Amino acid sequence: MTDKQSQDQAAIADIFARWAEANRTKDINAIIALYSEDICSYDAVGPLQFNGITEYRAHWEKCLPKDAEMVVEMQTPVIRVSGHLGVARFLIRCGMRQEDGTEQASWMRASYHLEKQANQWRIAHEHFSVPFDFDNGAAQFGLEP
CB 45 within 8 Å of CB 77? no
Per-domain residue ranges of the chain: 3-129
pLDDT digits (tens, 9 = 90+) for 100-133: 999 999 999 999 999 999 999 999 999 999 988 8
Global pTM reads: 0.92
Name which CATH class applies to 3-129: alpha beta
- Closest C-alpha to 54, from 73, 38, 69: 38
pLDDT digits (tens, 9 = 90+) for 10-60: 999 999 999 999 999 999 999 999 999 999 999 988 899 999 999 999 999
Reported as type and span, the H/E element at residue 50 is: strand 50-51
CB 22 within 8 Å of CB 72? no
Length of the chain: 145
